[in-house]
Amino acid sequence: MTENILDFRSDTFTKPSPGMRKAMAEAEVGDDVFGEDPTVRALEQKTAELFGKQAAVFVPSGTMANLIGLAVHCARGDEVIMERRTHSFAHEVGGGAALLGVLFNTVDSSSGYILPEHIDMAVRKKDVHQPISKLVVVENTANLVGGKIVPFDTITALRKKTDEYQMRFHMDGARIWHASTATGVPLHRWASKTHSLSCCLSKGLGCPVGSLVISDSQTVDLARWYRKMLGGGMRQAGVIAACGLYALEHNLPRLHEDHEMAAELAHEFTKVLPEGFQVQAPDTNMVVVNTPDESTCQQTIANWEKMGILCFAVSKTSIRMVTHMDLPPDAAKQAARRIAKAGNGS
């Protein structure tokens, strides 16, 4: 293989740009465990403002942010309800169960995200035999179903439903940037429907690391406590918080380009893939290709890898391709050309 690699595996594979590295080098720092890092504080303040909430806390990863999201709302034995493919349940090592004693109650939704009627079905009666249903988690955008946007009206209805049951509502907003960019609904409006949310700087915004938990001041105080307990208290973290500040200024405004590339990729792939393959129209920066069966799925990923096209399977029969800022501008066309040239489409 001589052609350049087109890495569609995830938007987490981006590397910090020269401008971002410069911002890191020049960051003012202090000991953040003592609240003395001005760059971390600036990032937390800026993020809280963007999301229209009282406070935010900088944490190393989305996994820790979501775990803290469970911790601040749930006591041991409390139940959290979410869709089966939600990252917190599917890909966060069962941390909520292992470390917090939280019970996961998952629902299956054809859309890939939870709807109010699923809460009606899953919620427990107040009864001495039952755990307490305390929290609903929604992921927006929904990664494993191809970066789908949970519509704002659905988020509003979910919040109404959680209020009805006196439950709390946490959003895994790792890619809430994408939902906001695609819909034009500002970040603070999404956040206004939640009790807490997480966001990731390392997914689509080009940062090497970093997430935040965003909520009211009291909840964020508690979140800081859990962050320290989980080993996430960081010292001169301004060097990485600087990436976040840089990304919010320079990379967030360009996110629509990734969505445009995903739309182009879907369009191009529809033309070159053989019968039996079906390309899902993307909402944001992910394209899902459904393949006829399990072995075709695996074979296709292996064949494409030989052509320098990298991607992951997100189910036994579907492939996910993620667009991001480190791909060349003509990546969609290049990928389609390579597949077409191979002859059999896959």
Ligand X SMILES: Cc1ncc(COP(=O)(O)O)c(C=O)c1O
Shortest CB 65 distance to ligand X, Å: 7
Comparison of 72 and 272: residue with beta carbon closer to ligand X: 72
Burial class (CB in 10 A: 0-12, 13-18, 19+), 184: exposed
Tally of residues, the chain: 346
Chain Cα centroid distance, residue 277: 26
Shortest CB 60 distance to ligand X, Å: 8
| Residues binding ligand X (CB under 6 A) | 12, 61-63, 66, 87, 139, 143, 172, 174, 200, 202, 211
Comparison of 174 and 297: residue with beta carbon closer to ligand X: 174
Q: How far apart are CA 272 and CA 68, in angstroms?
A: 44
Shortest CB 66 distance to ligand X, Å: 6
Comparison of 53 and 320: residue with beta carbon closer to ligand X: 320
Shortest CB 172 distance to ligand X, Å: 5
Shortest CB 322 distance to ligand X, Å: 10
Comparison of 202 and 300: residue with beta carbon closer to ligand X: 202
Comparison of 12 and 236: residue with beta carbon closer to ligand X: 12
Comparison of 169 and 277: residue with beta carbon closer to ligand X: 169
Shortest CB 303 distance to ligand X, Å: 25
Q: How far apart are CA 189 and CA 51, in angstroms?
A: 8
Q: Which residue type is seen at 172?
A: D
Residues 6+ apart with CB under 8 A from 37: 28, 29, 30, 31, 235, 236, 237, 238, 241
N-terminal to C-terminal alpha carbon distance within the chain: 16
Q: How far apart are CA 84 and CA 95, in angstroms?
A: 15
Shortest CB 63 distance to ligand X, Å: 3
Shortest CB 203 distance to ligand X, Å: 6
Shortest CB 33 distance to ligand X, Å: 20
Angle, helices 217-229/62-73, rounded to nearest 10 degrees: 120
Comparison of 71 and 272: residue with beta carbon closer to ligand X: 71
| Residue 124 CB neighbours (<10 A) | 16
Comparison of 71 and 123: residue with beta carbon closer to ligand X: 71
Q: How far apart are CA 139 and CA 91, in angstroms?
A: 12
CA-based nearest residue to 53, from 219, 227, 177, 182 = 219
Comparison of 87 and 195: residue with beta carbon closer to ligand X: 87
Q: What secondary structure letter does DSSP report for 32?
A: G
Q: How far apart are CA 242 and CA 252, in angstroms?
A: 14
Q: Which residue is closest to ligand X by CB?
A: 62
Which phi and psi angles does 23 have, rounded to 5°? -60, -40
CA-based nearest residue to 59, from 246, 229, 249, 217 = 229
| 206 Rama sector, left if φ>0, alpha if ψ -120 to 50, beta otherwise | left
